[in-house]
Structure 1
Amino acid sequence: MANEVLSAIKGKVLTSDGEPAAYVTVQIKNTGHGTLTDQNGDFLFKKIKPGHYTLQVSLIGYETLEQEVEVETDKVSHVSLQLKVSRNQIKEIVVVGGKNKYVVNNPSSSLRLQTPLTEVPQNIQVVTKEVLNDQQVFNMSDGVLRNVSGAQRIAHWNTYTRINARGGQLTAFRNGMNTTISPFSPLTEDMSMVDRIEFIKGPAGFMLSNGEPSGIYNVVTKKPTGIDQKEFTLTVGSFETYRATGDFDGRLSKDGKLLYRLNVMGQLAASQRNFEYNNRYSIAPVIKYLIDDRTSFTAEYTDQYVQMNVIGSDYAFSKRKYADLPVSFTTAESNIAPTKIHDRSLLLVFEHQFNANWKFTAQGAYFHYNQEGSSMWPIGFTTAGNDSLLQRRINMWDALGMNKTAQMFLNGKFNTGSVQHTILAGLDMKYSNYYADYGTPTLLGDATFNIYKPVYTNPSVPAWDRSKDIRARGVLYNYGYNAGYVQDELGFFNNKVRLTLAARYTVNKYVSPYEGTYNDDKITPRVGLSYSVDKNTSAYFIYDQAFMQNPGRDYQDKNFKPLTGDNLEFGLKRDWFNGRFNSTVSVYQITKNNVLVADNEHTNPANGEYSYSKQTGQQQIKGVEVDLRGDIVRNLGVVINYAYTDAQISKDSDPKLVGNIVPGTSKHIQNTWMTYRVAQGVLNGLRLSAGYQYMIGRVAGMIYDKSENPLPDYFRLDAGIGYTSNKFSINLNVNNVFDKYLFTGGPSGDIFYWQAEPKRNARVSVGYKF
């Protein structure tokens, strides 16, 4: 036994430029032994019998690096492996904590893909946690979108975030799971638990689940790394903002098989608006057990809680024009009880690596969303001839949402002759229940509330009847889907040309008190072609389809047809400066059928009715997108993007609407963020940042007629300064440097409504790692 205990292989894996290659798979060929390198690129095999072995360094789907090693009795064999610069090998490495913090070369495992991003025939943009930290982003509504071409925020009520791109709302995902339970959920993720955010443009149902033809965003949460490290951060800011976060990462067992990650956050925050607050906490523990060298099990629990003022109080209203009220304006009162939201989820993941070529993953998640509170939306200006007296209205809004998701998929590769096959096949199932109780809309005060001279009198607020469980008093909406998919990426000419063929069969199921129970189903194909012009450059073409549920009813209680879509896209991708900088240029056309829009014609808000929806004929969206990110020169990290969007109604039952601009779009969006880090001298550790968001040709988000009332152009400049010294860091960010009145909104009948952003505001964060 002594020989087995003392004989070992110890080594290090480096990239071509001498940097540690972290979390790379190292295997002993033709044996059951395998491991991952740590953050420093080191690995160790214990209890190895004396003999001659071959080490393989690889990740699924990529070329391997092999090196011979001789193990002698009672000795530790040392080996150093350096990856050579080649089209595939250099892209398989994910370096943690490297010099470049803005570029990621590979998708997360939750995207199912085995191909480097440069070679994927689709526009996928990744926002790293380093970018989020530099910008001091707290949640999805807080500046994330400046990092992705064409993305813009339409509206939010401090609960969820509506993100539009390519003419439609991006579907919300977390760790590869569709988290949408209702149009107003889930609770947006706090960035303290987020490792990266992946924006996938165009239909992506083949690899994740049903999603909007415009695309999805996938929030990837932090997972255990096996490296003992901890970090605390304290933040203070404008509007009485106080925030603390903690990130704990390490091992729970001496043998390194049981790993953990714990992220916690607590926040107290007011707002630029009167009576508005947003207090929350989040707890996100993760446990990962390495059963053996090839098998692991991960359990992740997320608990988010928020207490805020009445939903809808962050909107302003006027009959005259947009932005003619101060940013502090609100229709709320100080005596309205807070709205409370508790969002919890459990994710379980089982992974088994059969060998270097085949891997099986099974995962399931349960999302639970509970809301208890109220909502406000006015009846209007009810006094004849007066455009200042607003009649406010309030109603209960309690909700309970439950979402069950299960997925199993197989990744693999094999050759048939000279053709390489990269396989993805799986099953995808989801079912959601959503109970909503809106109560009885009630007038708040009388019609003497003057928006230009508001007087807050704490009028009587109804005491909502919650004596029954919401399952008994709420309206229930059920819907779900079952699907299977398969994809083969065929590589020709030493994988220089890659042809993707895929298909997905989806069965949608609807259950509601209005629609009854019914199903619809469809097979959606996908064809892609990617060509490597050289080791750093690829051109691609993709055609795919979308098939998505359209739950709800029209004013005649008729079912809606499912939303379908076609996507055509051409693109060019390139890595520059040995992968420190990358660029993507894409040209696309999306055709969407059976789109739901508000049906104001058959809604009477004065009678307390909620808006019906109706289906349009067709929308066609064309555009060009450019994304640049990385170190343009050493120590200067940049995120630069531009999007041109031409979105129009191409068919409709009402000919007058044909040619109208699709709501919630901007003709031009251009964003830039730059961070310079001083790496030597007396100022070593200093960091300077600046960035802006610029939108031209904005169209209001929720309307559908010829009176778009375009929103004014949008320009916001932010800046920051920071310093890092060993384990200590400090960061100051100033948002809206020019102190501009910025907003988003739209018209509703003869009323303008909008939501104002804060004027100039600042945040200071202090962090310590140990």
Structure 2
Amino acid sequence: MKKIYLIMCFMLLTICGTYAQTGSLKGQITSSDGKPAPHVSIGLKGHKQGTTSDENGSFTINKIKVGNYTILASFVGLATLEQSVEIIEGQMATINFSLKETANQLDEVVVKTGSAYKSNEVSSSLRLMTPILETPQNIQVITSKVLASQQITSMSDGVLRNISGASRVEHWGDMYARVNMRGSRASAFRNGMNVTSNWGPLTEDMSFVEHIEFVKGPAGFLMSNGEPSGIYNVVTKKPTGQTKGEANMTFGSFDFYRATLDLDGKLNDSGKLLYRLNIMGQTKNSFRPYEYAKRYSIAPVVSYKIDEQTTLTAEYTLQYANMSNVGSYYVFGTEGYASKPREFTLAEPGLDPTKINDQSILINLQHNFNSDWKLTAQAAYFNYDQVGSSMWQAGVFNNGSVVRQVSIWDALNESKYAQVFVNGDIQTGPVHHRILGGIDLGNKQYIADWGTTFKLDTIGSFNINNPAYGKPYYGYPTFNRSKSLRQRANTTAINQTYTGLYFQDELGFLQNKIRLTLAGRYTDVKENSYGTVTKGKKFTPRVGLSVSLDEGSSVYALYDQTFVPQTGVIRSGEKVKPISGNNIEAGIKRDWFNNKWNTTLSLYRIIKNNQLSADPGNAAGESFSLQLGQTQTEGIEFDVRGEIVKGLSLIANYAYTDSKITRETTSMKEGAKVPGYSKHIANAWLNYRVGAGALKGLGFAAGVSYQGDRSTWSFAPAGRDALPNYFKLDGGVSWESNKFTIAANVFNILDKYLYSGVAYATYYYWQAEAPRNSRLSINYKF
């Protein structure tokens, strides 16, 4: 691994080939009534270089060789426009197009541009103005087309097969998605705000999600406090300015019924006031008895264009869930993993449901001072309110007897955020600058009551070898909620307040072919967890280098430091220290065949100090943590995504991960494996659609997921069974026209017994995945 690092660094520092003299081109596309025209294809006649206009009608093409060109502007179904332009070395030429059609007429045109399976840019919520190809970091985007084709309904429903090295190690069904990458938990973001909590957020429903961005490696500088393993950023749907709608109905195994509606349009004739409304309703049961989940969501968005430079957007999201006891997904036994049938359950039909109201409000203001400088300010309030219970075991015995114990679990998770940042693009002599600077403010509070427990069984009254349901020995719990949650939550209270200041300058040399990123962040954090106050102030630098080998490929290197506060309780009473560490990463990126598909190869090493892990000495009901001395995680990741040939799209990835303790502690020795990852993860999703003839619109899909040498989320006692390798095969068939899409997918085709779990104390527990199951969806666009 070290040799590979040296080779990559040598490549980056010694690449100084003969570069042709180049310049750049920018401009804006408008309709005949002066409205921005998005999704217009811009290209150089007779050359492969090109791009598409964004939602503001703007476009930029870099690294154009010096000379005279004819620029083409094309929109599906409309006549192609042409203009001539001269590209001068080191200069930015400007050219604008005005279409003959009005904005309303453009609404009626079906737009199909580029590859629906890959993205060249990230959302503005990531703050970067740099194309993904030129960014010195591994960034992967899961597009809305991918989410739809795989019939993904929530953040915990198959999303991670599309990202190298990502997995769900420990979770509570569909309550929240705990995503692990590069050896530890990835931070959860929504529209650029860190919404991560110990038990949250509630899994985002895909009905209001536009796409999902995965940023590998430390992203704390970019966003806020975050793990050095990376983040995932859920980007919600916004108004597009086009009048359109979409309705979907999905039916599936285990009484799965789901309906969604997406409305997008204008609220006034001028088009200054826009709206987007997404509504979802869903109900489903499970292959396990007494397990269910009912959900609905409402997500209205209103956007107002104050003037030609300023846009104000307000967004509200409500998610409601009514589900069976959140601990009932697990099975316990002393004989080993999967020692009971897949459909076995410890749940009881008479337990009250857990109900969750998850709400958020986001206000976003964007102002363009000119074509080179942009200000973004946003503020948000998140409120997660839960009333329910969980279930764990008070005793697991060799003869099969299990004492089931239900605990109250009422929780309130409130967080407030404010962000202001500026993006700039300037030229100083031969050097091109992409400037980013801003401030982050955040306040998070999580309180919970799980202090009251109720045993359903006495020893011997419930046996997993001969279970009897419906009449637990002690009956069902009735929890006392006469006091408010704040009065009851005297043992679990987590508060975090932080301020972050950051600045970045990406310096472009040799007509922006070599880009040097210099950045720094100052973070001030105060955290009160379980009565223990932790404070921290730290400056963390960031240095990146990206070099374009040609117009479609680049190599990069990155050095970054991290600083993350942690929550937990150590058995000795010792204070929990924040995570500190550094990351070294190098990689190669390439766009193939006129940007239709791309590949990314990255190598990394992450060193972390003071990482927390579950204490292997925990007895039933205990949740103490260990503070590890120093850990090192290193690995290789490879991603490919896009349209390989016309009609054939592929998403495939592989990751090798190795994480171990490099500085021993009082309880863990040097060289011990850090839990929470799989050494080998490989995924693929292949989709083919017939483009002509009698079978036009017919599509076929197949996907595989593999995890090898899996570790559990917690240190396991010596001599216990390891988790087996994981392999899953999925596939489907679909038909698509301009208006209708009908799709049927089958998951776990081989009907394998798939599960995750851990050897814990004197027993094992595991959570099984569904057997072979299917979904049928009907989608109509109007």
Tell me the TM-score normalized by structure 2: 0.87
Are the structure 2 counterparts of residues 707 and 425 from structure 1 closer, same or farther at C-alpha, using a change threshold of 3 Å?
A: farther
Aligned residue number for residue 649 of structure 1: 661
Per the alignment, residue 567 of structure 1 pairs with 583
Confirm or deny that 1:177 pairs with 2:193: yes
Q: What is the identity percentage for the equivalent residue pairs of Structure 1 and Structure 2?
A: 49
- Out of 112, 131, 144, the position equivalent to 2:127 is 112
State whether residues 599 and 614 of structure 1, in contact with CA within 8 Å, keep that contact through their aligned partners in structure 2.
yes
Q: d(CA) in 2 for partners of 1:540 and 1:387? A: 58
Q: Following TM superposition, by how much is the alpha carbon of 1:512 offset from its aligned partner in structure 2, in angstroms? A: 4.3
How far does residue 750 in structure 1 lie from its aligned partner after superposition? 1.7
State how far apart, in whole Å, the 1-side matches of 2:371 and 2:677 are.
45
Contact 2:41 2:113 (8 Å CA) reproduced: no
Deviation at 1:320, TM superposition (A): 0.6
The alpha-carbon distance between structure 1 residues 40 and 161, as it changes in their structure 2 partners (threshold 3 A), is same
Alpha-carbon distance between aligned partners in 2 of 1:118 and 1:624, rounded to the nearest angstrom: 18
Q: Deviations over 1:670-709 (max 9, x none)?
A: 1000100111001111111000001111111222665574
Q: Which of 583, 597, 605 matches 1:581?
A: 597
Maintained 8 Å contact 1:56/1:64? no
SS of equivalent residue, structure 1 residue 274? coil
- 1:16 is paired with a residue of what secondary structure? strand
Q: How does 1:515-594 map to 2 (within 5 A)?
A: 515=532, 517-594=533-610
Counterparts of 2:247 and 2:34 in 1: how far apart (Å)? 36
> 2:206 aligned with 1:191, yes or no?
yes
CA drift of 1:348 comes to 0.6
The equivalent of 1:372 in structure 2 is 387
Among 756, 759, 765, which residue is 2:771 paired with? Answer: 759
Q: Deviations over 1:168-217 (max 9, x none)?
A: 0110000000012x311110100111111101001111111111010000
Could you tell me which residue of structure 1 aligns to residue 525 of structure 2? 508
Report how far residue 97 of structure 1 moved.
3.6
Tell me the residue number matched to 1:455: 468
In 2, Cα distance between equivalents of 1:258 and 1:734: 42
Q: Residues 22-60 of structure 1: CA distance to partner in whole angstroms, max 9, x if unpaired?
A: 4364589xxxxxxxx9986999xxxxxxxxxx9999xxx
Where 1:538 maps in the other structure, the secondary structure is strand
Task: Pick closer, same or farther for the CA change 1:750–1:610 going to 2, 3 Å.
Answer: closer
SS of the equivalent of 1:737 reads coil
Mapping 1:200-239, distance limit 5 Å: 200-239=215-254
Question: Is 2:78 the partner of 1:66?
Answer: no
Partner of 1:92: none
2:275 to 252, 257, 260: 260
**Which residue, 113, 126, 138 being the options, matches 1:98?**
113
Equivalent positions of 1:11-90 (< 5 A) are 13-16=40-43, 21-23=52-54, 25=56, 66-67=94-95
1:360 to 375, 380, 386: 375
Give a deviation string over 1:631-663, Cα, whole Å, max 9, x none. 111110100100011111111213753212221
- Does residue 307 of structure 2 align to residue 279 of structure 1? no
Alignment of 1:701-720 (within 5 A): 701-703=713-715, 706-707=718-719, 709-720=721-732
CA contact (8 A) 2:36 2:56 kept: no
Deviation at 1:63, TM superposition (A): 8.2
Q: Which moved more, 1:656-665 or 1:332-341?
A: 656-665
Q: Residues 441 and 96 (structure 1 numbering): CA distance in 2 closer, same or farther, change over 3 Å?
A: farther
Decide which of 644, 656, 669 is 1:632's aligned counterpart: 644
Q: What letter is aligned with 1:173?
A: F
Contact 2:757/2:765 (8 A) holds in 1: yes
The residue identity in structure 2 corresponding to 1:478 is N
Q: C-alpha offsets along residues 458-501 of structure 1, whole Å, 9 cap, x if unaligned? A: 32122101111101111322112111000000000100000000
Q: Distance in 2 between matches of 1:423 and 1:654?
A: 46
Distance 1:294 1:202, change over 3 A: same
Partners of 2:686 and 2:406 lie apart in 1 by 44
Q: Which amino acid aligns with 1:171?
A: S
Amino acid at match of 2:648: L
* 1:437-478, Cα deviation, whole Å (9 max, x unpaired): 003222112222111221103321221011111011113221
Question: How far 1:113 sits from its partner (Å)?
Answer: 0.3
Q: Give 3-state SS (helix, strand or coil) of 2:363's partner.
A: strand
Query: Residues 295 and 321 of structure 2 are in contact (CA less than 8 Å); yes or no, is this contact kept in structure 1?
Result: yes
Aligned residues between the structures: 715
> Secondary structure at 2:148's aligned position in 1?
helix
From the superposition, tell whether residues 177 and 38 of structure 1 become closer, same or farther in structure 2 (CA, over 3 Å).
Answer: farther
1:72 is aligned to none
Q: Aligned partners of 1:10 and 1:305: how far apart in 2? A: 38
Indicate how the Cα distance of structure 1 residues 559 and 56 shifts in structure 2: closer, same or farther if over 3 A, else same: farther
1:467 corresponds to which letter in structure 2?
S
Residue in 1 that maps onto 2:156: 141
CA displacement 1:571-605 (0-9 Å, x = unmatched): 0000000000100000000011111112243x443
Output the amino acid matched with 1:366: Y
**1:560 partner letter:** V
Distance 1:236 1:10 in 2: 40
Cα 1:78/1:225, change in 2 over 3 Å:
closer
Q: Where does 1:121-520 land on structure 2 (aligned, <5 Å)?
A: 121-157=136-172, 158-180=174-196, 182-382=197-397, 386-447=398-459, 448-459=461-472, 460-475=475-490, 476-512=493-529, 514-515=531-532, 517-520=533-536
Q: 1:318 to 1:258 in 2, by over 3 A?
A: same
State the Cα distance separating 1:327 from its structure 2 match: 1.8
Match of 1:616? 628
What SS does structure 1 have at the residue aligned with 2:350? Answer: coil
Give me the whole-angstrom Cα distance separating, in 2, the residues matched to 1:700 and 1:492: 46
Distance 1:218 1:27, change over 3 A: closer
Residue by residue over 1:321-371, the C-alpha shift from the partner in whole angstroms, topping out at 9 and shown as x without a partner, is: 101112211111000000001100001100100001100000011110000
Asked if the contact 1:539–1:571 (Cα under 8 Å) also holds between the matched residues in 2, the reply is: yes
In structure 1, what is the Cα distance between the partners aligned to 2:720 and 2:372? 54
* Inter-CA distance 490–658: structure 2 relative to 1 (3 Å threshold): same
- Matched to 2:348, the amino acid is E
Amino acid at match of 1:166: R
Query: Does the Cα contact within 8 Å between 2:730 and 2:749 map onto a contact in 1?
Result: yes
Amino acid at match of 1:610: E
Give the Cα–Cα distance (whole angstroms) in 1 for the partners of residues 301 and 75 of structure 2. Answer: 19
- String of CA shifts for 1:284-339, please: whole Å, max 9, x gaps: 11111011111000001000000001111000111011011122111110000000
Distance in 1 of aligned mates of 2:289 and 2:625: 33
Q: Secondary structure at the match of 1:210?
A: coil
Secondary structure of the residue aligned to 1:387 is coil
Cα distance in 2 for partners of 1:764, 1:358 equals 47
In structure 2, distance between residues paired with 1:305 and 1:191: 14
- Aligned to 2:527, the other structure's residue is in SS state strand
**Does the 8 Å contact 2:530/2:568 carry over to 1?**
no
CA shift for structure 1 position 143: 0.7
- Comparing 98-107 and 123-132, the one that deviates more: 98-107
Question: What CA distance in whole angstroms lies between the structure 2 residues aligned with 1:228 and 1:78?
Answer: 19
SS of the residue corresponding to residue 292 of structure 1 reads coil
For the 8 Å contact 2:210–2:235, the answer to whether it is kept is: yes
